Structure 1
Amino acid sequence: MDYGFVDCHCHISAREFDEDLEDVIQRTREAGVTTLVAVTEDVSEFPRVLQLQERHPDLLAPCFGIHPLQAGGGPGDPGSRSVKPQDLDAALPLFYEHADRLVAVGEIGLDFTPWCAPTQQDRDDQLSVFVRQLDVAKQLDLPVNVHSRSAAAVTIETMRQQGTSRALLHNFAGKPSVALEAVKAGYFLSFPPAVCRSSQRDKLIRRIPLEHICLETDAPALGIDPSVRNEPCNIHLPCRHIAALKGLSAEHVRVVTSQNAYRLFPKADRCR
């Protein structure tokens, strides 16, 4: 069976794509991407990602999720704040209402970066929101698409405690020993184009079995150049980088990572 690329974690509903979205989609298809797993960060994105799926049902695989970081407190505050339990209130009914269209719950997780979660209360609130969404995923029999910055070990242990069996740890940057704990739990790890400029993750990627690796872009973020908008068509960049590190062909990495993706997100297979 022929496998195109699967972008396992992409913010295609982000406002950065508003002005030329159809051109971005066209470039995505031309790059050989057959499935875009589209994550959300807050409830305002839920309708947008469903509308995109309606326009591109053979490409878009939608997820709903509330990110551990939310937009700043109001006008004049462009920064992020740690998520609060009430941020989830409006979202919860929508998970169940649109469950048949979702391929995963995400982007969810933990971000304990000191300037994003400076207090214990912030970390407790993130954990509460994370656990509630893990429970939703379990109820709906969906995998989770997970953010774990400065919190990889806690994130993995929380999922294990909650009985989460299917998870993608996106843009994983934890220690190799922690990554292997994720592998032992049966989870997958994905890497965006930015890994091509991060030699510290080369050792990590070499240690993780290819059977537990997926590809992502995290577009519009995490491209080769931080000052340039990233797009899903750049999915070939982490593929080639991983192939070079493992001494494999890029084609082999593409096929195996896509097989991994459809195993993790079985409902996304309908996009092909």
Structure 2
Amino acid sequence: MFIDSHCHIYYDTFHDDILDVINRAQDAGVKKMICIGVDLKSSDSCIELAQKFENVYATVGFHPHESKLAEPNFLNILSSMAENSKVVAIGEIGLDFHYTHSDADIQRKVFIQQLELAESIGLPTVVHSRKADNETLEDISNVKKTKGVIHCFASDLAQAERIIKLGYYISFTGLITFVDELSDVIANIPLNKILIETDSPYLSPVPFRGKRNEPKNVVEIAKKIALIKAIDLEVVKQQTTKNTLNLFHKII
């Protein structure tokens, strides 16, 4: 089976056909998917979907854009939400200095607090990092017992190697089907450190660019990795699934 390790299927664009979306994923061999929260409302929506659909799991957390919305008791709320058996990680958390939806200092404070929460409750993290490579890895390295994944990787090989050295996984999206520079990264890092994701409804891979992305399309990312590494698709499927299950240990 394939696993879509990162999707936002609570978006309104999926409201009218969510069952069809999940069935299409199943038919494509994508047997499990992880719905990623970005604030309290979306985290709750992910939990609702995970409770409704056996093959959907959830994460809870504050995206860097939403850091400014984190109220004083947000850690207690996230901790309580994370007790749900279908919640497999704290995320999507991290730093984004490309946009200024939340002040950089607030982003770092909330990021570190969520890293520490994940460490304290024994859950992995799903990390967003954009234009903040050094700061992200600095904060991760200071919370040593936390493991996780850098999602939607779009940096260079040197950064990928730094991430792996910290014990984190690297996740690739449909970007790899049209951003040639990422091929060098994929070719030079071990398959046992790679996850695959759609980031639905964003970043549709070739040949679906310009259309709404959905979990079934994670197969296209696996195909591209197989092509770059000159290995069988079955090998990519088995190893990335193993990696995902190793990281998100609450998935059954």
TM-score normalised by the chain length of structure 2? 0.93
2:83 aligned to which of 75, 85, 100: 100
The one-letter code sitting in structure 1 at the alignment partner of 2:118 is A
Structure 2 match to 1:263: 246
Cα deviation code 1:106-128 (max 9, x no counterpart): 10001111xx139xx82111101
2: distance between equivalents of 1:157 and 1:17? 36
Residues 96-245 of structure 1 aligned to structure 2 (within 5 Å):
96-101=79-84, 102-113=87-98, 116-117=99-100, 122-224=103-205, 225-245=208-228
2: distance between equivalents of 1:104 and 1:88? 20
Structure 2 unaligned spans of 5+:
none
Structure 1 match to 2:50: 53
Counterpart secondary structure, 1:171: coil
2: distance between equivalents of 1:10 and 1:214? 13
Structure 2 match to 1:79: none
Q: 1:89 to 1:22 in 2, by over 3 A?
A: farther
Contact 1:88 / 1:129 at 8 angstroms: preserved in 2?
Answer: no
Contact 2:60 / 2:82 at 8 angstroms: preserved in 1?
Answer: no
Seq. identity, %: 33
The one-letter code sitting in structure 2 at the alignment partner of 1:201 is L
Give, in angstroms, the shift of residue 150 of structure 1.
1.1
Cα deviation code 1:102-153 (max 9, x no counterpart): 200010001111xx139xx821111011001111111110000010111123
The one-letter code sitting in structure 1 at the alignment partner of 2:107 is Q
Counterpart secondary structure, 2:128: strand
Structure 1 unaligned spans of 5+:
71-82
Alignment: residue pair count: 248
2: distance between equivalents of 1:151 and 1:122? 13
1: distance between equivalents of 2:194 and 2:188? 11
The one-letter code sitting in structure 2 at the alignment partner of 1:232 is P
Following TM superposition, where does structure 1 have runs of at least 4 consecutive aligned residues deviating by more than 3 angstroms? Answer: 88-91
Give, in angstroms, the shift of residue 206 of structure 1.
1.0
The one-letter code sitting in structure 2 at the alignment partner of 1:259 is K
Q: 1:37 to 1:12 in 2, by over 3 A?
A: same
Does residue 23 of structure 1 match 2:6? no
1: distance between equivalents of 2:144 and 2:219? 33
Does residue 38 of structure 1 match 2:21? no
2: distance between equivalents of 1:21 and 1:133? 30
TM-score normalised by the chain length of structure 1? 0.87
2: distance between equivalents of 1:88 and 1:168? 25
2: distance between equivalents of 1:90 and 1:53? 24
2: distance between equivalents of 1:124 and 1:27? 42
Counterpart secondary structure, 1:69: helix
Structure 2 match to 1:76: none
The one-letter code sitting in structure 2 at the alignment partner of 1:43 is L
1: distance between equivalents of 2:220 and 2:63? 26
Counterpart secondary structure, 1:100: coil
- Superposed CA RMSD in Å reads 1.6
Give, in angstroms, the shift of residue 87 of structure 1.
2.2
2: distance between equivalents of 1:189 and 1:88? 30
